[in-house]
C-alpha cells in the first residue's frame, strides 16, 4: 500500500463512524474534517464526492460487522448450529464494530427513498447476507439436518428481519434486552421448528 492508498484508507476508517452515527445527510464537512484531521482539499483529493466517501465508509463498516457476525461459523459442523452461532454473534460479538448501530439498517432506512448509490450498496450488502444464511440452510436441507418443507429464503429473511428490528428497539431504548429477546426467540425457533 503506498502513501496515497494508506491515507485514503485512513480517511475511510475515520469517516465511517461519522456516517454510521449521523447518516449521509447529517454528516457535515466539518464533522469529516474533525474526524480525519484533514482540510476539505485533503479529503477530496482522494474521493470524487461525499457520496463516494460515504459509499466506501459503508462498505468498510459493513465488512467489519459481517466479520463479527460470521465469526466461528465455518468451524461448526451442523447447519442449525451455524445459524445459532450467527444469532449469538449478533448479540455478543460487538467489540470493534463501527459505532452507530448496524450500517445496513442505518443506510437502508436513510436511502430507501433517497441516495441511489447508497441504496445500491445497502441492497447489495443485504443480498450478500441473505445469501450466506440461505446457503447454510440449503446445505442443511441437503444433509437432512433441517426439516423438509423449510423455505430457506424465508428462514434467512426472518432471521435478518427479527435481529435488525430488535436492534432498532434496543438502540432507541438504550437497553440490550430487546436484542436478547429476539435472539432467544430465534434460537428456540431454530431448535423446535427448523432442526430435523
Which stretch, 17-25, 47-55, 75-83, 142-150, contacts a second copy (CB under 8 A)?
A: 17-25
Q: Does 100 bind a second copy (CB under 8 A)?
A: yes
Which stretch, 46-54, 81-89, 103-111, 133-141, contacts a second copy (CB under 8 A)?
A: 103-111
Q: Does 21 bind a second copy (CB under 8 A)?
A: yes
Measured CA to CA, the distance from residue 10 to residue 6 in angstroms comes to 6
The residues pairing with 146 across neighbouring beta strands, listed in sequence order, are 195
HSE of 162, CA atoms in CB hemisphere, 13 A: 20
Q: Which of 162, 190, 194, 195 binds a second copy (CB under 8 A)?
A: 162
Q: Does 168 bind a second copy (CB under 8 A)?
A: yes
Q: Which is nearer to a second copy, 46 or 155 (CB)?
A: 155
Binding site for a second copy (CB under 8 A): 21-23, 25-26, 99-101, 105-106, 108-110, 112-114, 119, 122-123, 126, 154, 157-158, 160-169, 171-173, 177-178, 181-182, 185, 189
Amino acid at each position: 500500500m503506498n502513501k496515497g492508498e494508506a491515507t485514503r484508507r485512513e480517511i475511510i476508517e475515520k469517516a465511517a463512524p461519522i456516517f454510521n452515527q449521523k447518516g449521509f445527510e447529517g454528516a457535515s464537512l466539518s464533522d469529516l474534517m474533525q474526524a480525519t484531521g484533514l482540510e476539505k482539499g485533503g479529503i477530496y483529493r482522494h474521493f470524487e464526492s461525499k457520496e463516494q466517501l460515504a459509499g466506501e465508509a459503508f462498505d468498510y463498516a459493513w465488512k467489519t460487522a459481517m466479520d463479527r457476525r460470521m465469526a466461528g461459523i465455518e468451524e461448526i459442523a451442523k447447519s442449525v448450529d451455524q445459524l445459532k452461532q450467527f444469532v449469538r454473534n449478533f448479540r455478543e460479538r460487538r467489540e470493534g464494530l463501527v459505532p452507530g448501530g448496524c450500517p445496513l439498517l442505518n443506510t437502508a432506512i436513510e436511502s430507501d427513498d433517497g441516495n441511489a448509490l447508497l441504496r445500491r450498496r445497502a441492497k447489495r450488502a443485504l443480498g450478500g447476507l441473505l445469501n450466506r444464511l440461505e446457503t447454510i440452510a440449503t446445505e442443511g436441507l441437503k444433509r437432512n439436518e433441517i426439516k423438509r418443507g423449510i423455505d430457506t429464503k424465508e428462514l434467512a429473511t426472518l432471521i435478518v428481519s427479527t435481529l435488525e428490528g430488535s436492534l432498532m428497539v434496543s438502540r432507541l431504548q438504550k437497553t440490550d434486552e430487546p436484542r436478547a429477546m429476539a435472539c432467544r426467540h430465534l434460537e428456540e425457533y431454530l431448535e423446535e421448528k427448523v432442526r430435523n
